């Protein structure tokens, strides 16, 4: 089961720095990410999503390839590539995977202009190593699907607070 974490940062640069840290941890097999998106609220109130993959571009590229291939069979490679790229771009624009875009935009509407929210979909992680890596990054937890104890550990880590040891069992 995946967990969703949304953290607000004062600037897009801080959010991007934490996202890069998470990518480095993924290379070390400490965390497995399903998605990592930065939402930035502009001065005019609009929300821009900085996603990992541009589905429109990927769709256009793959559609262009298949259109070229099919167009070549019918001796019209240029027309086939153009139609394939156009239909692939439309299909890519309508595709959404990972974290729901409407959900991220809705949650980000409460941000102050210039602030950024980092949305992370976590498939698996080694919690203590991830918390050490994001310790003191200075964000504010907006929303999580973590249980209360893990959410508090995340809040403490990004605030730079020392970890709270687990309570000792009561003696009988």
Q: Does residue 120 belong to any structural domain of this protein?
A: yes
Q: Does residue 99 belong to any structural domain of this protein?
A: no
- d(CA 44, CA 57) in angstroms, rounded, equals 27
Q: Are 142 and 7 in contact (CB under 8 A)?
A: yes
The DSSP output letter for 2 is -
**What is the pLDDT at residue 124?**
92
- Asked if pLDDT for residue 19 goes beyond 90, the answer is yes
- Asked if pLDDT for residue 53 goes beyond 60, the answer is no
Q: Does residue 90 belong to any structural domain of this protein?
A: no
**What is the pLDDT at residue 80?**
67
- d(CA 122, CA 124) in angstroms, rounded, equals 6
Task: For residue 118, give its domain range.
Answer: 3-52+112-159
Q: Does residue 123 belong to any structural domain of this protein?
A: yes
Give the sign of the dihedral formed by CA 155, CA 160, CA 117, CA 4. negative
Q: What are phi and psi of 4, to 5 degrees?
A: -105, 135
Q: Does residue 68 belong to any structural domain of this protein?
A: no
Q: Are 122 and 32 in contact (CB under 8 A)?
A: yes
Q: Does residue 150 belong to any structural domain of this protein?
A: yes
| CATH code of 147's domain | 3.30.70
Q: Does residue 76 belong to any structural domain of this protein?
A: no
The model's pTM: 0.70
Question: What's the length of the chain?
Answer: 172
Q: Are 95 and 120 in contact (CB under 8 A)?
A: no
Q: How many CB atoms lie within 10 A of CB 138?
A: 13
Q: Are 22 and 36 in contact (CB under 8 A)?
A: yes
Percent of the chain past pLDDT 90, that is, above it, reads 23
Q: Work out the pLDDT band at 18, boundaries 50, 70, 90.
A: very high
- Asked if pLDDT for residue 83 goes beyond 90, the answer is no
User: Both tokens of residue 140?
Assistant: 């504010």
Mean pLDDT of the 46-74 span: 67
The model's pLDDT over 93-145, given as tens digits with 9 standing for 90+, comes to: 555 456 777 888 888 888 889 899 999 989 998 988 998 998 988 888 888 88
- d(CA 73, CA 82) in angstroms, rounded, equals 15
Structural domains of the chain, count: 1
């Amino acid at each position: 089961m995946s967990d969703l974490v949304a953290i607000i940062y004062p600037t897009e640069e801080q959010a991007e720095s934490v996202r890069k840290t998470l990518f480095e941890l993924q290379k070390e097999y400490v965390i497995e990410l399903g998605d990592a998106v930065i939402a930035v609220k502009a001065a005019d109130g609009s929300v821009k999503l900085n996603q990992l993959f541009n589905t429109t571009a990927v769709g256009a590229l793959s559609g262009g390839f298949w259109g070229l291939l099919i167009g070549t069979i019918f001796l019209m490679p240029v027309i086939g590539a153009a139609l394939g790229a156009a239909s692939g771009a439309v299909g890519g624009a309508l595709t959404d995977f990972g974290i729901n875009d409407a959900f991220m935009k809705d949650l980000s509407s409460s941000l102050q202009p210039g602030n950024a929210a980092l949305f992370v979909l976590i498939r698996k992680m080694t919690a203590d190593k991830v918390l050490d890596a994001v310790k003191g990054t200075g964000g504010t937890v907006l929303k999580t699907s973590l249980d209360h104890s893990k959410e508090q550990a995340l809040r403490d880590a990004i605030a730079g607070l020392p970890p709270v040891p687990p309570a000792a069992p009561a003696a009988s």
